[in-house]
Amino acid sequence: MAGPQLQEMNEWSRFFTEADAQGCIVVLDARGQSETTHVYNVSRANRRYSPASTFKIPHSLFALDAGLLRDEFQVIPWDGVKRPTAAWNMDQNLRSAMRNSTVWVYERFAEELGDARETDYMRKIGYGNAVATGDKPFWVEGDLAISSFEQIAFLQRLYRNQLPFQVAHQRLVKDVMVNEAGPDWILRAKTGWTGKIGWWVGWVEWPSGPVFFALNMDTPNRLGDLAKRQSIARKVLRSINALPTAP
């Protein structure tokens, strides 16, 4: 997917080295008239990995389209099973399920949709290798895989309401993706983690246009590495003035 405006950013290696991390990042800067794709570690950015919880972005669209969810207020009742994350042990709605990355909510959607419908939806939007095979959940333990470049292509279509779903549903999913905002910018993003691979994908909206990003990294220290996903990506984005400096 290396287009004419692809810039390899070897200098970004320092953000990974400082964090003692191995990974890649793709940043598509669409501010102003032209689009430039900046990449660190292009070979890895082309390689497909399990999307983990970044799949909650398209999965939410599938659930809304299939009528499993009406809106962000509909209560998704907790099954009473105690899970290790305290925020999961209560009723959820779309906003809390996205914010807390509540796995059981999406496992329930997957059960109600079934593998054939999931596959059909993924093919319709060209999501990675579009397979629901292997261990469950297929987006963490199974065979579904997507590259950083493909993540960016998907996010661009969502940003522009160009996916084959109701515009209202696309807007709603973007609304529940908001992480932070300032007077003239909004950060919409989602983390993901398989146990071995960490993701942070999304975009920053500015009056002059969006800046999309997809970071993917190894997490050999498991939980000890998770904070690095956002800290590395934030440093990269700040280095091109795509995110304000922390106060």
* Sign of CA pseudo-dihedral 117, 68, 52, 35: positive
Find all residues with CB under 8 Å of 226, minimum gap 6, and list them: 191, 193, 198, 219
Closest CA to 9 of 190, 184, 240, 246: 240
Q: What is the rounded distance in angstroms from the CA atom of residue 86 to the CA atom of residue 98?
A: 15
CA dihedral 44, 36, 128, 141 (to 10 degrees): 50
**Sheet-wide strand order for 178-182:** 6-8, 36-40, 23-29, 209-218, 197-206, 185-193, 178-182
Cross-strand bridge partners of residue 200:
191, 215
Length of the chain counted residue by residue: 247
Buried b / exposed e over 14-48, threshold 16 CB at 10 Å, is ebbeebebebbbbbbbbbeeeebbbbbbbebbbee
**244: helix, strand or coil:** coil
Q: Say whether 53 is catalytic.
A: yes
201: tokens are 């994908």
Q: What is the rounded distance in angstroms from the CA atom of residue 39 to the CA atom of residue 45?
A: 8
Which one is catalytic: 13, 43, 50, 53?
A: 53
State the catalytic residues. 53
